[in-house]
A and B are shown apart, each in its own frame.
Chain A
Amino acid sequence: MKRRYMGRDKLYTLKKDFPTDIDFDDAAENPSLIIRSLPYFPKIMHSLNTQHKFDMLSNITAVDYDDYFEVVYDLTSRINSEELMVKVPLAKASPALETMTALWPEADFHEREQYDLMGIIFLHHPNLQRILLPDDFIGYPLQKSYRQAEKEGENG
């Protein structure tokens, strides 16, 4: 069996439910869902979790673009054998959005890792602390602006 990308009809249904808050590139083969409105973000994710049966949040990552951050959620539905990529652009000045730990408890470590390395704040996360780097580390190394100390011994 091969997993499919979420069908266009379902994407249109979602767009109907949240007309101004979501977007997708109609020309793309497998369009990712772009969420433009942060207040509606938890609601949309809830609908994906319950109504569209995405029972697995396989991966969370964050990308540092020139003028914004983007948090990307890779969702999998083991029930419908579907997958979907959800993107949430965030302003550089305040990269913060709601945690997904209530809907998918597995998001815990994923979110902590993105906080640790990219500096994304996940609001209402039960334990948002550094996970790989030492607690007293300064900076977020996966941001493009981060520069490693040039001489040895100056790291951290």
Chain B
Amino acid sequence: MIKTETYQLSMGPVHPSTHGVLQVLLTLDGEKVVDSVPCMGYLHRGIEKLMEARTYFQCLPYTDRLDYVSAMNNNFSYCHAVEKLAAIDIPEKAQYLRVIMAELNRIASHMIFIGSLAVDIGATTGMIYPFRDRERILDIFNELCGARMTYSYIRIGGVRSDLSSAIVDMINKFLADLPSMLDEYNNLLTGNEIFQHRLKGTSLLSGEQARRLGITGPMLRASGIDYDLRKDNTYSSYDNFEFSVPLGKNGDNWDRYIVRVKEISESAKIIRQALDGIPDGQITAKVPKVLRPPKGEIYDTTEGPRGEVGYHIVSDGSAKPYRIHIRRPSFINLQALNILCKGYLVGDVVVAMSTIDPILGEVDC
């Protein structure tokens, strides 16, 4: 008599694309996935412990190294939390500059997503174009603060430097070219039948499942739940701008892709409005050289490209944080991996992993 049994396959720890070092332990029945367990920690550096031994200003560069494809958003989130804790008021102009950079970085991050999704599916050509265009944003950041990836541009109290006219030109030119870039992706990928076939109707995540698993960001919105902190708990100067929140319907891989592509255009809308409306004034508030926030505790969240980035900071009144805990959206979103993979084929695991879009620097902290 012929009998079958399940077996285990370890995918990783080296992931073939750019996400980082994640291992997925798969239990398979033939080619069908019975169970999948993400194993992380390969990139764990103990950032939370390191921060306890540093001043609030010295902690900032560590936030660059969490989600390293959207460092601006991490800087933003950390500074926002510290400012709330220390009750520092930020000049309006700095708020606008922060929003511009955070949204530019969101576009860059979503471009990475499109590129790595393409390469995960096997469309290597599809990767080249978003990566090429993302380089334009990195050039802007390089001009702005001298770094391509680790900016530390958003500082406690404001931002590091003002926009030069050269940078404004670069951003304007990028925004003008963005629609044609998106057309190119749409021609290459979105309209491609094989691409659609791989994404549509696979790895479903219902709205209820996503809500209960604490999924946030584009992944939650792809499941049809309208929750975006830029609207639902508006911070900085986001309530001055008109933009919409793209939603998916089915919560499949396709929706997770489309939602992010649409978010690129929405971010561009925000940047355009902010760039046109930059008020006059200071770019930093007056912050003491040695910052000693009053004794207390704060939890503050902002919307990163991957979801809700939260900082829980405990201050004992000294110049160093007593305890910092970071809510990293990728880490929590990975909890959905098993639901996304169960019952699908091994080839779909790579796609599901890709549309979760985890950045392992952030997962492992």
Contacts and interface: CB of A to CB of B under 8 A. Distances in A.
B104 to A, nearest CB: 25
Give the interface size bracket for A toward B.
20 to 34
Contacts of A104: 212, 214
B34 interface: no
B314 A106 contact: no
A64 interface: yes
Contact of B299 (A1, A74, A134, A142): A74
Contacts of B124: none
A72 interface: yes
B54 to A, nearest CB: 15
Contacts, number: 81
Interface in B306-353: 308, 310, 312, 314, 322-323, 325, 327, 331-332, 334-335
B299 A85 contact: yes
Contacts of B227: 78
Contacts of A56: 211, 214
B150 interface: no
A2 interface: yes
A44 interface: no
A32 B48 CA distance: 23
Nearest to A109: B335
A109 B41 contact: no
A58 interface: yes
Contacts of B255: none
A57 B211 CA distance: 10
B193 interface: no
B49 interface: yes
A3 B331 CA distance: 24
A81 interface: yes
Interface in B230-248: 231-234
A110 B333 CA distance: 11
Interface string A98-135: 00000011101110010001000000000000111110
A81 B331 CA distance: 24
B327 A58 contact: yes
Given A1-B231, A1-B232, A108-B335, A61 B41 contact: no
Contact of A63 (B41, B211, B215, B322): B322
Contacts of B323: 61, 63-64, 142
A95 interface: no
Nearest to B232: A1
Contact of A55 (B211, B297, B308, B364): B211
B286 interface: no
A132 B44 contact: yes
Interface string B262-296: 00000000000000000000000000000000000
A32 B214 contact: no
A42 interface: no
Nearest to A70: B314
Interface of A: 1-3, 32, 55-59, 61, 63-64, 72, 74, 78, 81, 83, 85, 104-106, 108-110, 113, 117, 130-134, 141-142
